[in-house]
Amino acid sequence: MAHSRHDWPQLLDDPHVGAIVFNSRDITDRREIETERSQLAKAVEQATESIVISDIDGKIIYVNSAFVNVSGYSREEVIGQNARILKSGVQSAEYYRDMWTTLRAGEPWVGRFTNKRKNGTLYEEECAISPIKDAAGKVINFVAVKRDVTKEAELEERLRQAQKLEAVGRLASGIAHDFNNLLAGIRGFGELISLEAADDSKLKDYSGEIIRAASRAADLTSQLLAFARKGNFLAVPMDIHDAINEVKIILSHTIDRRIEIQTELSASQSFVKGDPSQIQSAILNLGVNARDAMPDGGRLIITTRNVNLDADYCNRHSLERGPGEYISITVSDTGVGIEDKILSHIFDPFFTTKEQGKGTGLGLAGVYGCVKSHAGCVEVASSVGKGSAFTLYFPVLEGTALPSAAEITEIKVDGRERILLVDDEDIVRNLAERMLTKAGYKVVSCKDGEEAVQLYRTGMNAIDLVLLDMMMPKMNGRDTFAALKKFNPDVKVLIMSGFSDQDIQEFLQDGILGYIAKPFQMRTFLVKIREALDLRTKVRQL
């Protein structure tokens, strides 16, 4: 007869009980195993890494909470499903074949996947998959430990893009000066040919094409520097409508004929103070994006209008200029549109929805940077399946009367003064000397700073202006300028350069009269010379 432990005292006192037999079993090991198993289950469930257990065919039999959080799938949705539901298509079939070959051989596999969440977005994860074997050594399951490395992958990609950008920047910095020197010669001598052609219409046409080609090449150099963030551009008065018309010409030669380009330039005040190349590049980027959004054709519309922005709007968009008159430029399309979930990221540097290798993610970031650097802002409106509209706002130019073409033509450009011309590039030196001589100036030329300092020291009283290249061997423009100032603190100096960098700003602060960017138009060059000779104060860049 069985008794409970509460009956034991009575049993011990019972005279009829001759003996008590205890039958016990040690369950310490079982409790330890259960405790260990419980701890292991909690550790797996609460791990920050995703843990997935599958059978030998890849059918999922367990996922932990981290997997649910990362993938967006609930346990009920994935248990019993094959792990291939996560495939994004980024990895090739061969990639997966190699993985399965390794696993079915009983070996662990380590690699990286680009998988797809339930909502369709992609994510990167590092994955270590290990076979689980029974007592006989047969593989019965696989366990995958996966870590979401999406942010790390994005940082790695940004680093790669930044390194590419830095390489482009070094290349741009290295070639810009030399390239623009060559373009200065090509364009300048083209202008001289045009002047000498007189009534020869064919020769004038040929020289005109040379000038236009050189101008386009100079714009490309400027855009390369802007893209590489190596240029330091000075703002000049410009007509937004001219930039749009130039973009329209470029787009008409590069986009699908099924895309109709329309312009509606309604703004009566279309002048702003800015960098023509940067603003044109921003509008062109928007046009190219619109083209890409209409693979089957459509309409690309560029419109302008004047708007008066109030204080509330300016505060919300952090407009430095504040309330007042602005010009709006809207580039719209009838394309596929932009999904809401990515709309907030389109201006992020390196963000792109294009296939790998087909976009840097810098186009819209560059547009945003251009607009902000010009004290403006940008807005976007988009509807999936209907199209997108990007609107740029720039403050209109106020308080400056822009000269008409007739007034510019009347500006005096000739003279009789003596100019010391310093440039190590033969083609630029010869071109500038011919232009100056043709305008009536007396020119003394030399090819480096040391020679210029010697000439100026012995004949400074006869020299009215020094035209100085920035980048030269032996003694660069900055050192030459400093040496000239020792002999004459009031020396009149104009700087020429094929690359606008930070040193130019410092030169402007140090007392030079202005800056001429290579390649230059003949009239712009001569007007700048005349201004420097006529003024003792600093003049703005033309």
pLDDT tens per residue across span 109-155: 999 999 999 999 999 999 999 999 998 999 999 999 999 998 888 78
What gap in Å lies between CA 517 and CA 508, rounded to an integer? Answer: 14
Q: What three-state secondary structure class fits 352? A: coil
Integer Cα distance of 267 and 240 in angstroms: 9
- The pLDDT of residue 104: 92
> Lowest mean pLDDT: which of 75-79, 154-158, 176-180, 344-348?
344-348
Given pLDDT bands bounded at 50, 70 and 90, which one contains residue 406?
Answer: very low
Q: In the CATH scheme, what is the homologous superfamily, with its name and number, of domain 235-402? A: Histidine kinase-like ATPase, C-terminal domain (3.30.565.10)
Once rounded to an integer, what is the mean pLDDT over residues 145-170?
77
> What pLDDT, on a 0 to 100 scale, did the predictor assign at position 166?
67
Give the pLDDT score at 53. 94
Tokens at 235, concatenated: 């703002």
Residue 402: how many other CB atoms lie within 10 Å = 11
Q: Compute CA distances 307 → 394, 402, 429, whole Å.
A: 10, 21, 47
- Amino acid 322: pLDDT: 86
Residue, of 542 and 436, whose pLDDT is higher? 436
Structure tokens at 454: 């010697």
Mean pLDDT of 288-315: 90
Q: Please tell me the distance from the alpha carbon of residue 74 to that of residue 251, in angstroms, as a whole number.
A: 48
CA dist list (Å): 258 to 147, 248, 252, 255, 298: 46, 15, 11, 8, 7
CA 295 to chain centre: 24
Q: What is the pLDDT of residue 64?
A: 93
According to the model, what pLDDT value does residue 140 have?
94
Q: How confident is the model at residue 210 (pLDDT cuts 50, 70, 90)?
A: confident
Inter-residue contact 417 to 465 (CB < 8 Å): yes
For residue 151, which phi and psi values (nearest 5 degrees)?
A: -65, -40
Query: What pLDDT shows up at residue 218?
Result: 74
pLDDT at 340 over 90: no
Report the pLDDT value the prediction gives residue 131, as an integer from 0 to 100.
95
Q: What is the mean pLDDT of residues 509-528?
A: 83
**For residues 495 and 504, is the Cβ–Cβ distance under 8 A?**
yes
Q: Which of 86, 101, 104, 89 is nearest to 50 (CA)?
A: 86
When comparing pLDDT for 265 and 375, which is higher? 265
Domain boundaries 411-534, corresponding CATH code: 3.40.50.2300
Count the helices and strands in the chain (H runs, E runs). 18, 17
Packing angle, helices 276-292 and 201-227, rounded to 10: 80
Q: What angle do CA 456, 462, 464 make, to 5 degrees?
A: 85
Q: How far is residue 291's CA from residue 479's CA, in Å, rounded to a whole number?
A: 49
Residue 472 has pLDDT above 80, yes or no: yes
- Stronger pLDDT, 101 or 178, i.e. the higher one: 101
Q: Helix or strand or coil: residue 379?
A: strand
Do 49-148 and 411-534 show the same overall fold? Answer: no
**pLDDT bracket for residue 19 (50, 70, 90):** low
For the entire predicted model, the pTM comes to 0.48
Q: What's the pLDDT at 361?
A: 47
Using pLDDT thresholds of 50, 70 and 90, give the confidence band for residue 360: very low
Query: Binning pLDDT at 50, 70 and 90, where does residue 449 land?
Result: very high
Q: What is the mean pLDDT of residues 35-47?
A: 82
Query: What's the whole-number mean pLDDT along residues 427-431?
Result: 90
Q: What is the pLDDT of residue 51?
A: 94
- pLDDT greater at residue 537 or residue 492: 492
Point out the least confidently predicted range of 6-15, 85-94, 432-441, 529-538. 6-15
Output 19 or 206, whichever has higher pLDDT.
Answer: 206
Residue 405: per-residue pLDDT: 43
Q: For 333-350, what is the mean pLDDT?
A: 74
pLDDT cut 70: percent of the chain above it: 78
Is residue 408 pLDDT above 60, yes or no? no
CA separation, residue 219 to residues 134, 186, 285, 302, 528 (Å): 70, 14, 15, 22, 20
Share of the chain above pLDDT 90, in %: 39
CA distances from 491 to 124, 132, 409, 463, 487 (A): 62, 85, 29, 9, 8
Whole-number pLDDT of residue 298: 93
**In what helix (H) or strand (E) does residue 504 lie, and over which residues does it extend?**
helix 502-510
Q: What tokens were used for 319?
A: 């407009």
Q: Under DSSP, is residue 101 helix (H, G, I), strand (E, B) or coil?
A: helix
Cα–Cα dist 427/429, whole Å: 6
Q: What are phi and psi of 371, to 5 degrees?
A: -65, -45
Per-residue confidence (pLDDT) for residue 301, from 0 to 100: 95
The pLDDT tens digits for 69-105 are 999 999 999 999 999 999 998 899 999 999 999 999 9
Tell me, what's the pLDDT at 358? 46
Q: Return the residue matching tokens 């312009």.
A: 263
Taking alpha carbons only, the member of 291, 285, 303, 304 closest to residue 387 is 291
Strands 271-274 and 259-265: unpaired
User: What residues does each domain of the chain span?
Assistant: 49-148, 235-402, 411-534
Answer CATH for 49-148 from 3.40.50.10740, 3.30.360.10, 3.10.150.10, 3.30.450.20: 3.30.450.20
Which of 248, 276, 269 lies closest to 396 in space, CA to CA?
A: 269
Residue 492 has pLDDT above 60, yes or no: yes
